[in-house]
Amino acid sequence: MEELSKIPNLFPQDLHLLGFQRCETPMWVFDTRTFAFLAVNDAAVRQYGYSREQFLSMTILDIRPVADVVPLLRQVLRDGRCNSDRELWKHRKKNGSLLEVEVSSREVVFEGRHAELVTAIAVTEETVSGRVTTSDECSSLACPVEAKRP
């Protein structure tokens, strides 16, 4: 994991300025040590069916099928982080159904905590064929983020 001074800092007000809530792509910020959700946007609430309060009381392991928890933990142990660039994972919605998603993330510091800013795009025939992509506005959030605070 990079030293804190080299990782972009995000604060809740920065997410607002970056268009996090209005982005149509499901996104969240999670603590890389505890895996707890720290922030979640409206698109994620719609896609997964959990309320914002439910998300914020959960960890990223809670939306994984049991079979994917160990591979995720292995990746964290191997790489020292969860960072991913367009990796395919299965996530569990509130109703119990599984959703295949393309996950991209970027390491950030959020309210002083090591965290990752994640996008999770549902995989459909259109995304597989490349006809649908994340809007520039939203994809820039998961790309390297410039620090907003000194």
Task: Give the containing element (helix H, strand E) for 144.
Answer: none
* 106 and 83 Cβ atoms separated by less than 8 Å: yes
- In the CATH hierarchy, which fold is given to the domain comprising 4-142? Beta-Lactamase (3.30.450)
User: How does pLDDT run across 19-78, given as a tens digit for each residue?
Assistant: 788 889 999 999 988 999 999 999 999 999 999 999 999 999 999 999 999 988 887 777
Give yes or no for residue 119 having a pLDDT over 60. Answer: yes
Position 112 scores a pLDDT of: 86
Give yes or no for residue 147 having a pLDDT over 70. Answer: no
Give per-residue burial for 127-141: e unless 16+ CB within 10 Å, then b.
beeeeeebeeebeeb
Position 134 scores a pLDDT of: 47
User: How does pLDDT run across 131-145, given as a tens digit for each residue?
Assistant: 444 444 555 555 433
Position 12 scores a pLDDT of: 63
User: How does pLDDT run across 74-110, given as a tens digit for each residue?
Assistant: 877 777 666 567 788 899 999 999 999 999 988 888 8
Q: What are the sequence ranges of the domains in the chain?
A: 4-142
Comparing 3 with 21, the larger pLDDT belongs to 21
Position 82 scores a pLDDT of: 64
Q: What is the mean pLDDT of residues 1-9?
A: 54
